[in-house]
Structure 1
Amino acid sequence: MPWWRPPGAVVQDHDVGTRILGVAAATAGVGLASAVYQSCAEARDRRRFPPPGRLVDIGGRRLHLWLVGEGNPPVVIVPALGGTSLDWVGVQRALHPDPMVCLVDRAGLGWSDPGRWPRSLGDMADELHRALEVAGVQPPYVLVGHSVGGLIARLYCARHPDHAAGLVLVDSSHEDQMQRLGRVDREAGALRYLMRAGRKLAKPLGILRAGYDLGILRGLGHDAEQGIPPDLAEAAVALSLTARYHRASAQEMIGFVCGTAAVRREARTLGELPLTVITAGPRGRETWYSQWRELQEDLATNLSEYATHLVEERSGHHVNRDSQDLVVQAIRELVTRV
């Protein structure tokens, strides 16, 4: 039987094709408008919020280092995954004027240039070393690592033991946490980090940014301004809405998932390095907190022969803003000890 379609069907196919083309054109137009708005908004914010510290060239790209105060050993703070120097300004100001405190924005975060793709935790530790070297910050340092920043700080200490005077781990990530916690709660497993990275990369930033600027989506800035001093809150929100921030955060999530093997291989023990482990309470993570406490106790017991373990039950994961005084005191005590 010959293949045949009634004339009406041809018209319907033509209509469907026209509609598809129309939707594609509209989508492309919205995407272009979104990209243009995002670019203009970022250019505006670069003028409004210049970097408070120095941009240090580490070989074709620049990292932002913010040095305040005097006195040795310098305290070098390594923020959490996707975190910026602004997250730790409160601690920096509380420690002022002694010792010197160095806040660092990793590649793509805060005021730093984007980094290469892919980037491992080891790459982040090496970039930190290079930035401190170029900036002329004299070792040895007391490093303070928060969350995933704790893993980066451990790799730094393992690779440059002569540059490390002490280490403070603030509710630090553990190289075994994704396996251990993922058995109890899938949200804490490796797959969820990869899914979150994908969502970061897929966000229609220009549309969201326009909604924020128009006052429709003001909630987008809520997380970014938490714990930030009022004089820097607007800058923190602006930095959190940049395309490079979302790309860098996704890079770091992937780097975390793929980078724990290096920590197991290189930084399981730091010998006699003076160490303080600060562990937050169960707020927001009750389903797997008992496993988290076990991992924290492992750090305090096995990472160094000279370790102190502090547990702050009242604090959530962001101990630097929930219990700032405790963090400041722990840093001061370790600086005095070394």
Structure 2
Amino acid sequence: MKFGLLWRFRFLLSGLGIACLVVLAGTAYQSKRTAADRTLFAPPGRMISVSGVNHHLYCVGSGSPTLVLEAGLGDNSLTWYPVQSALARNMRVCSYDRPGLGWSDPIDSTMQPEDVARNLHALLNNAGISPPYVLAGHSRGGIYVRAFYHQFPEETQGIVLVDSTHEQSPAHQYPYAAWDYWKQALQMAVAGPLSRVGLIRLMGIADAGRRPSSLPAEVLAAKSAMQNRTDTAHAVVNEIAVMRQGLDPATPPPLSLGKLPLLVLTAGNRVDPGLVEREAGKSGGNIEAEKALAGIQQTEQNDLARLSSNSRHIVVKNSGHFIMQDQAEELVSAVSEFIKPIALRLEGERPTHHSTGPEKEVAQHREFKR
């Protein structure tokens, strides 16, 4: 009896020892690969401090207003790679990384949309990027840019929503919503520990090439490197935690934008019932559930387009959620046409002056290179 207990105790100790060695090895692997990635993939833009936290800001082009690009949940500035340079032919365009994402330093606390907006405003101010601004937000970024307008309306001349999230989206139930939200909770619980020991990196869960993309191979490699950081997993968990607050039925609807110029771009593939039905049939998915979700998304996009009395709504055909990658040329054309009258009006309102240092300096920043 005593021999059996001793054997089990030794077996338990051996197991714990092996587990500790695996954790130590995984942690060392994650740390080494992260350091190597930081050396291999330098930020294309500048590092600007906001309250002691370094933020990556990448600006190209010149002119007024400045177009500010806000990425979606857990995403970084490289998501705008297919369109930023093309948009910058006629204007100054800035993308950036929220804390913990891309090349920006992490923070411990969660950020409400209002916090993201204030942080972005401080970043632009510290970088010498003066208003007026037009802000474009993709997915969750659409909530952030609207929060920016409501805090800084005099500095915001227009908003572009790129397949934007609706504030009440989680509360809009669809047939398998409960399962999706349960998966989110599970992912939040395991993301941090798995990332710290390198398992997320080893399994390729955060790799940018998991979905078809028009991004060049070197950009996908840089995006994967940034997304495999432990800091990124922590930042994504924080953003999801804030997003899940929308599960509360009392979540208020999005606020009116008054007469602010507004462009809403909707991913056609996500709201076309016929296409959704065909794709669900091919993949063996729940056809009725997918059609119900498409109807909810269409309703939400229509609702966002009604936030301003001065809006235009374009459903971009043959595009998934990442319109700036799936239909880059159409996005560039639509946004350029949207900003043109804003720029002309601003030009007529201000006295003629020569470009000053900050704008010239920002316009000379290099393109991303591996």
Pick the TM interval, shorter chain. 0.7 to 0.9
Aligned residue number for residue 188 of structure 2 = 197
Contact 1:225 1:234 in 2 (8 A): no
Is the CA contact (8 Å cut-off) linking 2:160 and 2:265 kept in structure 1? Answer: yes
Matches within 5 A, 1:149-160: 149-160=141-152
Instruction: Letter of the 2:69 partner, please give it.
Output: I
Return structure 1 stretches of 4+ with deviation > 6 angstroms: none
Question: Which residue of structure 1 aligns with residue 156 of structure 2?
Answer: 164
- Does the CA-based 8 Å contact 2:206-2:227 persist in structure 1? no
**SS of structure 1 residue aligned to 2:64:** coil
TM-score, with length taken from structure 2: 0.81
Match for 1:290: what amino acid? G
My pick for the range that moved more, 121-130 or 81-90, is: 121-130
Calculate the aligned-residue CA RMSD, in Å.
Answer: 2.5
After TM superposition, give the deviation of residue 121 of structure 1 in Å: 2.2
CA contact (8 A) 1:108 1:114 kept: yes
The equivalent residue for 1:236 is 223
Matches of 1:288 and 1:225, distance apart in 2: 22
User: What is the aligned partner in structure 2 of residue 30 from structure 1?
Assistant: 22
- Structure 1 residue 81 displacement after superposition: 0.4
Q: Deviations over 1:188-212 (max 9, x none)?
A: 8654433332232232554447747
Q: Distance in 1 between matches of 2:185 and 2:29?
A: 28
Match of 2:36 in 1: 44
Contact 2:195/2:233 (8 A) holds in 1: no
Residue matched to 2:294: 289
Secondary structure class of the residue paired with 2:304: helix
- Counterpart in 2 of 1:125? 117
Deviates more, 1:12-21 or 1:201-210: 201-210
Secondary structure at 1:157 match in 2:
helix
Cα deviation, residue 232, structure 1: 2.3
Provide the rounded CA distance (Å) in 2 between the counterparts of 1:68 and 1:156.
21
Distance 1:115 1:259 in 2: 23
Contact 2:191 2:237 in 1 (8 A): yes
- Which residue of structure 2 aligns with residue 299 of structure 1? 304
How far the C-alpha of 1:313 sits from its partner, in A, is: 3.4
Q: 1:77 to 1:305 in 2, by over 3 A?
A: same
Flag the structure with more relative contact order, 1 or 2, with Cα contacts below 8 A and sequence separation at least 6: 2
Unpaired runs of 5+ residues, structure 1, are: 1-8
1:17 is matched with which residue? Answer: 9
Contact 1:148 1:173 (8 Å CA) reproduced:
yes
1:73 maps to 65
The aligned residue for residue 74 of structure 2 is 82
* Aligned-partner Cα distance in 2 for 1:91–1:77: 10
What is the identity, as a one-letter code, of the residue corresponding to 1:43? Answer: A
Identity over the aligned pairs, expressed in percent? 31
Q: State yes or no: 1:247 paired with 2:252.
A: no
Counting matched residue pairs gives: 323
What is residue 3 of structure 1 aligned with on the other side?
A: none
Higher deviation after alignment, 103-112 or 236-245:
236-245
Asked if 2 retains the 8 angstrom alpha-carbon contact of 1:300 and 1:308, the reply is yes
1:57-78 residue CA offsets vs partner (Å, 9 max, x unmatched):
0011111100011111111000
Aligned to 2:103: 111
| Distance (Å, rounded) in 2 between the aligned partners of 1:17 and 1:204 | 30
Change (3 A) 1:315 1:286: farther
Aligned to 1:135: 127
2:352 corresponding residue in structure 1: none
Q: Quick check: 2:167–2:253 contact (8 Å CA) kept in 1?
A: no
3-state DSSP of counterpart to 2:48: strand
**Distance change in 2, residues 1:201/1:225 (3 Å):** farther
Residues 74, 140 of structure 1: 8 Å contact kept: yes
Q: 1:335 aligns with which of 334, 339, 343?
A: 339
Give 1:151 shift.
0.4
SS state at 1:55 partner: strand
